[in-house]
Amino acid sequence: MENFMVLRFWNMSANSSTADCSVEDNTYKCKFDEEFKYILLPVSYGIVCVVGLCLNLLALYVFLFRIKTWNASTTYMFNLAVSDTLYVVSLPLLVYYYAKGDNWPFSVGLCKIVRFLFYTNLYCSILFLLCISVHRFLGICFPLKSLQWGRVRYARRVSGVVWLVIITCQSPVLFFVTTSVRCETITCHDTSSKELFGQFVIYSSVMLVLLFCIPFLAIIVCYCLMARKLLQPTRGTSRRSKSKKKSVKMIIVVLVVFIICFLPFHITRTLYYSFRSWDLSCGTLNAINLAYKVTRPLASTNSCLDPILYFLVGQRFVNASSPPMPSHNSLSVPSKDRQVHPQFSGKEFVEWLSLLECKEP
């Protein structure tokens, strides 16, 4: 994801040290030494590609061939795995690109597709994590309503809407992204041409609010309400208490992963796009540039961490990927509790649902 540095600065790459290559940029304020990224990005993207591809192909196999009956969570997680897989298969092109020192040997169209897949995966991951969070929130805090809104057919419709929204919102990337020739090398930018950069910053700011800030706040609200509900003292066996503690741990893990993968990237990218208008020293500008380059691989690691979350969120995924267990150990809930009856009190049903969702395999 190489960006044009406009108005006040320019990036210094391995192929831009000669005088004839820097004449047109001599009015810019700062020069950035970015040699580190030609090691950092190929290595990190290569690791994400190998690990992410293996984990997501395994997840897709489990979803398609081992899980016979899907629920809403399974539907959301399957779509998340599809999104991650589409992204990781594009990473070998970026590994080659950065290993060659920002030299793109492929077509302009392929450059657009690679950048489009990154942002599509990024925001698909955020929205499908939001869907999973809302689904579990309804199941714990509003269990009776979840019987209607938690059905598979609604989850399929919601997943279709998510894909439609993301593809529509990210389609301008195909317009903005372009390549440029400089010093006999071709750069595949992840922003736009110099003339359209201002418009691209406005577009990115709108996407930041709609596809990151709002979902992030919604996830925090859902998990805070879920944690408060789960931490309330209730009558029941020690097994139920253990299940609730496990749910609380899952909430913490999801929030930590969300913050590590997505929050630093969006903060540093916002600063990276905005600092050209700030009257800052070159040292400060270089620090912001360095931070942005480092957080880019972090944003990609969600493709590796999402399959791990399936084991924490999806009980059916755990059961399907584990060796068969004897039938008398397959479900520890008494038979009389297997039928969901509207005469259950809300408190009793919450405990029952929590046990089903979080029981040990």
pLDDT at 283: 84
- Residue 117, Ramachandran bin (φ over 0: left; ψ between -120 and 50: alpha; else beta): alpha
> Who has greater pLDDT, 212 or 343?
212
Q: In terms of pTM, does the model score above 0.85?
A: no
- pLDDT at residue 62, as a whole number: 92
288 or 253, greater pLDDT: 288
What mean pLDDT do residues 254-282 have? 84
Question: Domain 9-321+332-358: which CATH class?
Answer: mainly alpha
* 4, pLDDT greater than 60: no
Across the chain, mean pLDDT equals: 79
| pLDDT bracket for residue 175 (50, 70, 90) | very high
| Whether the predicted pLDDT of 173 surpasses 80 | yes
Q: Where are the domains of the chain?
A: 9-321+332-358
What is the reported pLDDT for 130?
Answer: 92
Percent of the chain with pLDDT over 70: 73
- In angstroms, rounded to a whole number, what is the distance separating the alpha carbons of residues 329 and 332? 6
Q: Which helix (H) or strand (E) holds 126?
A: helix 108-141
The Cα 264–Cα 302 span in angstroms is 13
What per-residue confidence (pLDDT) applies to 105? 93
- What single DSSP character describes residue 2? B
Residue 271: pLDDT over 50: yes
With contact defined as beta carbons under 8 Å apart, do 297 and 40 qualify? Answer: yes
pLDDT digits (tens, 9 = 90+) for 197-230: 889 999 999 999 999 999 999 999 998 898 888 8
Contacts for 187 with CB less than 8 Å, ≥ 6 apart? 2, 102, 103, 104, 179, 180, 181
* pLDDT score for 29: 60
pLDDT band at residue 246 using 50, 70 and 90 as cut-offs: low
Which is more confidently placed, 253 or 269? 269
Is the separation of the CB atoms in 113 and 106 below 8 Å? no
> What's the rounded Cα separation, in Å, for the pair 311 and 112?
34
Residue 277's pLDDT band, with cuts at 50, 70 and 90, is low
